[in-house]
Amino acid sequence: GDSVTQMEGPVTLSEEAFLTINCTYTATGYPSLFWYVQYPGEGLQLLLKATKADDKGSNKGFEATYRKETTSFHLEKGSVQVSDSAVYFCALYRDKLSFGAGTTVTVRA
Amino acid sequence: GAGVSQSPSNKVTEKGKDVELRCDPISGHTALYWYRQSLGQGLEFLIYFQGNSAPDKSGLPSDRFSAERTGGSVSTLTIQRTQQEDSAVYLCASSQRQTGYGEKLFFGSGTQLSVL
């Protein structure tokens, strides 16, 4: 069945550092791919998405590119802030939305 | 209301009791999901309703878990004979399906279930 594998955390880094969270997927056909974020004390919310190969999703300085050849959708941000501390979930949609295990990111001032 | 509403926000119960968790999705949203989030764990898919189609129950962990969606709107997740390992945050989400594209889910705040 469809599945998402994401980089295990937790990840701790300093402000202005470069962040990458790896995500790979297994699915037949052409799923849509998402990153959701859960800030402390808040509910999950959509961060960005890509619906076809080579699409790049972007929001709040984060980017992820749908790579069909490597079945990946890695999340990147060039310069993180303390406010980016959250749990990040990679997700795949084909006939339902399936999430990865989540990666906890802590950014220190 | 403007968002997905879940009730109760917190539920403490004794082992062996039955519990019901309620979800009011955003009006007009045809898709409704239930997920479970355990401490330190990711989001575990439980069940998915889409319009009038038969629900996808493939994620329900045991026959103690069941869910229904009445009139294509409100959904109730029922856990019978609760066990301590059922303790988790139960999240409901809804979306307006866009054929051929991915869905943006709107999540509720969840129900924190504690089984003593």
Alpha carbon A106 to its chain's center: 15
Work out the mean pLDDT of chain A and round it to a whole number: 93
Question: Tens digits of per-residue pLDDT, A34-82?
Answer: 999 999 988 889 999 999 999 999 999 999 999 999 999 999 999 999 9
Contact across the interface for A33 and B91, Cβ inside 8 Å:
no
pLDDT value at position B99?
Answer: 40
Q: How far is B116 from chain A (nearest CA, A)?
A: 24
Mutation for A interface: B43, B96, B106, most A CBs within 10 A: B43
Residue B12, min C-alpha distance to chain A (Å): 20
Share of chain A above pLDDT 70, in %: 100
- At A30 the pLDDT is 85
Supply B42's token pair: 């990711």
Q: How far is B18 from chain A (nearest CA, A)?
A: 26
Contact of A46 with chain B, judged by CB distance below 8 Å, is answered with: yes
Contact B76, B22 (CB under 8 A): yes
Q: Residue A44 and residue B56: Cβ atoms within 8 Å? A: no
Per-residue pLDDT, averaged over B24-51, amounts to 88
The helix (run of H) or strand (run of E) holding residue A8 is: none
Structural tokens at position B8: 């109760």
Residue A70's pLDDT is 95
C-alpha A14/C-alpha B99 separation (Å) is: 41
Q: What number of CA atoms fall less than 13 Å from residue B57's CA on the CB side?
A: 12
